[in-house]
């Protein structure tokens, strides 16, 4: 008997293969990353060298047997199970090591002035090694429902970071010819797997939350890398649902039930929402007026709650953990240019949070490394 999620995964894979084989219209504009590489180089670029292209981290191929770090009996999914957490941390170590190695290369490639193609070629050779091994794609179905969701989220979280790193390095054109097709095929396969898990007919399996938002964002970034507009636009309905679900204060209901971790998850959900907004804006996909207003409420809520945790406790019903790590607030630099155009007053308010000691440079493993340098290079000059 075919399980429902297996049917939709096969359906998405089949339909996406057709999409990826289709020839784009000659007049279709190229999809662009949300950051302006030329502007970054002009403002903060400097010579970058690659002493040696180090050995690639061993690929992770087996995606079976994933488990959440949280106690499965906890209805808020906010209480960490120590044994589960330790197991998943150990399993994530290889993903983290590979992502960090790519991010270091990506940030060098982004800043390299004059350009140093060897840095980008090294990055793509590492991606190609994982691609040729079928990394992150095998045995996804050998999980229970929650384990499969976690496995696919590993594809989404790290895949978003890998794709952003590749875009910082100049996109697929910057790869050597012998690496380019392998990397292209791999990201196409990752995007198909994520879209199958989050196909509209499967949404009823779980309420919309940060998982959906990260999946939508990851696929959009991969769509830019692949120059595939239908993949790029897959997550537009998810983004709309995320924004329009917010309440009058700016709280995301799908994250407020997470007990003491409600604010942390509000922040975590904001990252892909903002990422997708600015990525779409760079490519002419605009928000409606209602969606923009909802975005402004979310960002205002996040910033205000730093000094007023009771805003969150109103929803979570318990005292929330209020974190002020630079990676939690990476969305501020990511949204800086967008808000400077669309809502300058809010941009100024958020700058007071981002300019606090220790907040910059903002950096995130799921966003391809330095967020400040890529999205808000002007801030890198303020020291």
Q: Is the pLDDT of residue 343 over 90?
A: yes
The answer to whether 174 touches 117, Cβ cutoff 8 Å, is yes
pLDDT of residue 273: 98
Q: pLDDT over 70 for what percent of the chain? A: 89
* pLDDT for the residue 207: 58
Instruction: Give the per-residue pLDDT at 20.
Output: 42
| Domain boundaries of the chain, sorted by first residue | 10-15+33-377
Q: What is the pLDDT at residue 29? A: 92
The overall pTM is greater than 0.95: no
Evaluate if residue 383 carries a pLDDT over 60.
no
The mean of the pLDDT values for the chain is 89
User: 370 or 12: which carries more pLDDT confidence?
Assistant: 370
State what percent of residues in the chain have pLDDT above 90: 73
pLDDT for position 10: 46
pLDDT at 27: 66
User: Of the given ranges (164-168, 181-185, 263-267), which has the lowest mean pLDDT?
Assistant: 263-267
Span 99-150, pLDDT tens digits: 999 999 999 999 999 999 999 999 999 999 999 999 999 999 999 988 999 9
List, for residues 276-315, the tens digit of each pLDDT value. Answer: 999 999 999 999 999 999 999 999 999 998 888 888 999 9
Lowest mean pLDDT, pick from 52-56, 156-160, 215-219, 316-320: 316-320
**CATH 1.20.1340.10: does it fit domain 10-15+33-377?**
no
């Amino acid at each position: 008997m075919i399980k429902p999620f297996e049917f939709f995964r096969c359906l998405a894979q089949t339909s996406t293969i057709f999409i990826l084989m289709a020839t784009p219209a000659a007049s279709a504009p190229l999809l662009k990353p949300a950051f302006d590489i030329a502007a970054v180089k002009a403002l903060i670029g400097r010579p970058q060298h690659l002493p040696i292209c180090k050995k690639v981290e061993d690929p992770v191929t087996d995606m079976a047997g994933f488990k959440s770090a949280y106690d499965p009996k906890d209805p808020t999914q906010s209480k960490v199970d120590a044994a589960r957490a330790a197991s998943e941390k150990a399993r994530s170590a290889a993903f983290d090591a590979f992502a960090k190695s790519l991010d270091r290369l990506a940030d060098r490639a982004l800043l390299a002035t004059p350009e140093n193609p060897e840095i980008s070629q090294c990055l793509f050779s590492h991606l190609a090694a994982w691609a040729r091994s079928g990394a992150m794609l095998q045995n996804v179905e050998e999980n229970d429902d929650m384990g499969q969701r976690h496995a696919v989220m590993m594809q989404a979280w790290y895949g978003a970071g890998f794709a952003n790193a590749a875009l910082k390095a100049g996109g697929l054109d910057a790869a050597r010819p012998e690496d380019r097709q392998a990397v292209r095929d791999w990201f196409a396969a990752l995007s198909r797997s994520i879209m199958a898990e989050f196909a509209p007919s499967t949404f009823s399996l779980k309420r919309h939350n940060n998982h959906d938002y990260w999946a939508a964002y990851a696929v959009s970034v991969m769509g830019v890398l692949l120059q595939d507009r239908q993949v790029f636009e897959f997550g537009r309905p998810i983004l709309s649902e995320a924004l329009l679900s917010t309440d009058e204060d700016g709280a995301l209901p799908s994250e407020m039930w997470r007990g003491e971790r409600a604010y942390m998850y509000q922040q975590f959900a904001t990252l892909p929402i903002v990422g997708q907004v600015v990525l779409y804006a760079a490519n002419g996909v605009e928000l409606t007026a209602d969606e923009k207003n909802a975005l402004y409420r979310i960002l205002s809520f996040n910033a205000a709650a730093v000094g007023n945790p009771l805003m969150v406790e109103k929803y979570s019903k318990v005292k929330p953990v209020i974190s002020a790590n630079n990676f939690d607030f990476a969305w501020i630099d990511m949204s800086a240019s967008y808000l400077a155009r669309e809502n300058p007053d809010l941009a100024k308010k958020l700058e007071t949070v981002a300019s606090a000691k220790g907040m910059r440079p903002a950096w995130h493993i799921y966003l391809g490394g330095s967020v400040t340098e890529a999205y808000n290079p002007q801030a890198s000059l303020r020291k």
